[in-house]
Amino acid sequence: MRKIVAFVVSDIPKFKEALLHWARQFEEVVWFEGNGVQDRYGSFDALLAVDALTSILTDTQEAFDGLQEYQHLAQDWIFGYLAYDLKNDIESLGSNNFDGLHFPDLFFFQPKKMIRIIGNQVEFHYLKMVDDEIDSDFALLCQNICKKDEISEEKNIRIKMRIFKDEYYRQVQKMLEHIHRGDIYEANFCQEFYAEDIQVDPIKLFAKLNAVSRAPFATFLKLNDKYLISASPERYLKKIGTKLISQPIKGTAKRFRDPVKDRASKHRLANDPKERAENIMIVDLVRNDLSKSAVKGSVHVVELCKVYTFEQVHQMISTVSAVVEKGKNPVELIRETFPMGSMTGAPKISAMKIIEELEAFRRGLYSGAVGYFEPSGNFDFNVVIRSILYNSSKNYVSYAVGGAITAKAIPDKEYEECLLKAKAMREVLEG
């Protein structure tokens, strides 16, 4: 049981800043930031979980079984992530590409301290062993609101490419050959950008990336010496009672400062046959995934190919919903739909095999998911894209971007779209 105490805070932006800096003292941290984006399925503006009482950390072998048991035993809020390579626990697949980050494949923890922000109300949800610290923690946070960060700026970060442009073209061409042979009809091909022998301040990087992106599923995660700094615009899967919601993204267009050009860019995206076809293919895949668990006839497309505007880009998003039986295990729902279709392709298993063959890096947490389970079994997970990953022990920073390759893909344009998606991460790192 958790003790819940609520406070009213007048300056929420400053309080959030103080809260994230306060959180850096803990070894386990997950912070979700909605950035004020209107989310019809959202239940908070920001959420912080810190300081593990219990946890599970594992590789891919029997990972979902372990998580299912852990979630059942905890009967509490648990926070964590699912790496893309958990595909190997679901299907007979492998992950043998280069990995510079070395994140565990699955990590969840039961936080001693959880703080939720809704409007100007801050709720402290503390376990009994620490609930006498609520008042002192709140007082300390209020004192720290006006303190300035004295950590120095990162300089001279040189971003490298795991593959160069010519190699990208060759690999996309191979993927097109698979498509023309009928092996797949869409796959998400990704590439890694990285920097070695550097030290960065993850909190500062998150503040910078969040400021330029203002994404609805922004996340900061710390697991000892490993960090995720994410400006994700995409929801993977949410469960509310017996309802499931998935919101795949396929289709990206550039923003312009000129309002006329910006509206034109959005209009072009909304009416682009290729982008709509990509989106609809993934919607069909998501519908198929959800139908494994859904009550017959309950899978519906709520929104198809709607264009949403974010700070850096316009995105084409669809919303698919389903109804599941009341007693259905929540971890099983994730196992039946993971990894998300927008980051794999269709048919899903064939696409994942070809991705492994053609990509030059192990995805790890990139294109996985970060989220939480509630005590009720409800959950919410994002898609780990538009994200910087950092291993502070190895002084290794990485971000990856990708795009859907279909029969109509033009390598030049696909490469340009990758660079557009990478723009915010590169600017934040290089200044």
Catalytically annotated residues: 234, 250
Q: Is the dihedral of CA 288, 294, 300, 304 positive or negative?
A: negative
- Helix axes of 202-213 and 12-23: crossing angle, nearest 10 degrees: 150
Q: 3-state class of 4 per DSSP?
A: strand
Query: Which SS3 state, helix, strand or coil, does residue 218 take?
Result: strand
d(C-alpha 221, C-alpha 15), whole Å: 18
Positive or negative torsion for Cα 107, 108, 112, 115: positive
DSSP single-letter state for residue 294: B
- With CA atoms as reference, report the closest residue to 189 among 390, 418, 370: 418
Number of residues assigned to the chain: 431
Sort 10 into a burial class: Cβ within 10 Å, 0-12 / 13-18 / 19+. Answer: exposed
- Contact yes or no for 215/25 (Cβ under 8 A): no
CA contacts within 13 A on the Cβ side of 258: 4
Instruction: Please give the Cα distance from 374 to 392 (Å, whole number).
Output: 30
Select from 332, 330, 340, 335 the least CA-distant residue to 374. 330
What is the distance between the alpha carbons of residues 196 and 219, in angstroms, rounded to a whole number?
23
d(Cα 431, Cα 65) in Å, to the nearest integer?
43
Identify whether the C-beta of residue 311 lies closer than 8 Å to the C-beta of residue 231: no
Distance CA 138, CA 365 (A): 33
Q: What's the rounded Cα separation, in Å, for the pair 161 and 193? A: 5
